Amino acid sequence: MQDHPQFVFGVFRQLWTELGGTFTGDVRDGPVPAEARAVGVLPSPTLAEVVRDINKFSNNVMARQLFLTLGMESGKRPAGAADADAALRAWLDARGLAMPELVLENGSGLSRRERISAEGLGRVLQAAWRSAVMPELIASLPVTATDGTMRKRLKQNGVAGQAHIKTGSLEGAQHRRLCAG
């Protein structure tokens, strides 16, 4: 698996070539030179839109990018996983949700090292339920037999459209579910 700069470079080079361009350069990761000038700006979707896409379609690549953005927003450029981990822990600590047992490796949930205790997850979910953004969070979860990763699931169980559910799994790991009615 490629790291982020190599992945983006590969996609860019492929698309550039498909559009008829030639490209002989390479990727350089580091600070932007002072003399560089912006040639374009692409605004990001809102955080609510990003979280909705991540949750509805279980988009692990977007989850990883959001995780790294947390590190970048703390002022570190280029940000890495350690920066994102520190930013997330600071956010949790500021809300009285310190979790020393929490292990974050890549932020997408696909790491076999990442883990959170059941008690820690419960505290985060309770805090989310009490937060001002709770409606957006719940709306971001797939609805049974209706949309996202749940569109084709639980159609015959009498619960179609009755629950917002986030599922996930890794081969050899137990299923994890987050439900809200």
Q: Determine the distance from the C-alpha atom of residue 62 to the mean position of all C-alpha atoms in its chain, rounded to a whole number.
A: 5
CB 53 within 8 A of CB 146: no
16-58 pLDDT, tens digit per residue, is: 988 999 988 888 878 888 999 989 988 989 999 999 999 999 9
- Evaluate if residue 169 carries a pLDDT over 90: no
Q: What pLDDT sits at residue 102?
A: 95
Strands (DSSP E) contained in the chain are 164-168, 176-180
For 36-48, b/e burial (b = at least 16 CB within 10 A) is eeeeeeeeeeeee
Q: Which amino acid is at 133?
A: V
Residue 153 has pLDDT above 60, yes or no: yes
Residue whose C-alpha is closest to residue 111's, from 55, 66, 178, 170 = 170
Nearest to 22 by CA among 12, 30, 32: 12
Q: Hey, is 156 helix, strand or coil? A: coil
| Separation of alpha carbons 165 and 181, rounded Å | 8
* CB neighbours of residue 5 within 10 Å: 13
Domains and CATH numbers, the chain: 44-140 (3.40.710.10)
Return the closest-CA partner of residue 175 out of 130, 109, 113.
Answer: 109
The mean of the pLDDT values for the chain is 87
- The pLDDT of residue 1 is 61
- Asked if 24 and 13 count as a contact pair (C-beta separation under 8 A), the reply is no
N-terminal to C-terminal alpha carbon distance within the chain = 37
**pTM for this structure?**
0.72
- Would the pLDDT of 132 be above 90? yes
